[in-house]
Amino acid sequence: MSKIAIVYHSGFGHTDVLARDVAQGVTDSGGVADLLRIDGLQADFGEFFDRIADADAIIFGSPTYMGTVSAPMKAFMDASAKVYFTKAWKDKLGAAFTVSGSPSGDKLNTLTSLAIFAAQHGMLWIGTGQNPGNNDDESAAIEVENRLGSFIGAMAQAANDSPDVTPKAGDRATARSLGRRVAQAATRWRAGIDHRADALLA
């Protein structure tokens, strides 16, 4: 059974909604989701690093503020320098999701920053694996998965509204799909590692 750590910051609740959808996708695929929400002023991430240690994958989540990750997420990233020097996350799977108020909001830069961060740790990146959704101007388009057309990670739009009503169904389904894909990939990855270990012991 794969264990997926979901490390995220949520300023207004929208990223939290997505994180829980990602976790639902993980559990739907038989994985174990460990939600690790970063507090706004958090400086000590020791417990997070301990819980991440035995995870097969880490899914990072951040709102896009001013075209990049939020300050609390950046604090987590900077604090992981201690982990970086030990390469403790090397060969773990990585993925990410983000949300902003507008359809673009420069979310790609946030996901790229998180992908580079994972690469620095020696992680292996998992994208959405989805084609872009049906791109039209009809209201029904908000129900379509990957309607914002992202490949590197899951994107969502909050439309500057309450997390009780947004992100919309299509974006939330995209988050669940990402969780499922990472959990399934982690299961295959774990099976390969276990098989290799068994062969070495034989």
Which pLDDT band holds residue 140 (cuts at 50, 70, 90)? low
Contact 91, 146 (CB under 8 A): no
Res. 196: pLDDT tops 80:
no
CB 32 within 8 A of CB 26: yes
C-alpha–C-alpha distance, residues 42 and 73, integer Å: 10
Picking from 53, 76, 73, 44, the residue whose alpha carbon sits closest to that of residue 5 is 53
Mean pLDDT over each residue of the chain, to the nearest integer: 92
d(C-alpha 93, C-alpha 127), whole Å: 11
Comparing 29-38, 42-51, 123-132, 141-150, the range with the smallest average pLDDT is 141-150
Q: Name the β-bridge partners of 149.
A: none
Question: Shortest CA distance to 126 belongs to which of 92, 162, 90?
Answer: 92
Number of Cβ atoms within 10 Å of the Cβ of 152: 18
The answer to whether residue 195 scores a pLDDT higher than 70 is no
pLDDT digits (tens, 9 = 90+) for 62-96: 999 999 999 999 999 999 999 999 999 999 999 99
CA distance 157 to 80: 28
Helix (H) or strand (E) holding 141: none
pLDDT at 190: 84
Question: What's the rounded Cα separation, in Å, for the pair 98 and 48?
Answer: 20
Residue 1 has a pLDDT of 82
Residues 19-35: what's their mean pLDDT?
Answer: 98
First to last CA, the chain: 23
Confidence of residue 197 (pLDDT cuts 50, 70, 90): low
Ramachandran category for residue 178: left, alpha or beta (phi over 0 → left; psi -120 to 50 → alpha): alpha
* Structure-token pair, residue 13: 């609740």
When pLDDT is averaged across residues 166-182 and rounded to a whole number, the result is 96
3-class secondary-structure state, position 162: coil
- Ordered by where they begin, the domains of the chain are 3-201 (3.40.50.360)
Average the pLDDT over each of 86-90, 156-160, 179-183, 192-196 and give the range with the smallest value: 192-196
Indicate yes or no: pTM above 0.85: yes
Whether 191 has a pLDDT exceeding 60, the answer reads yes
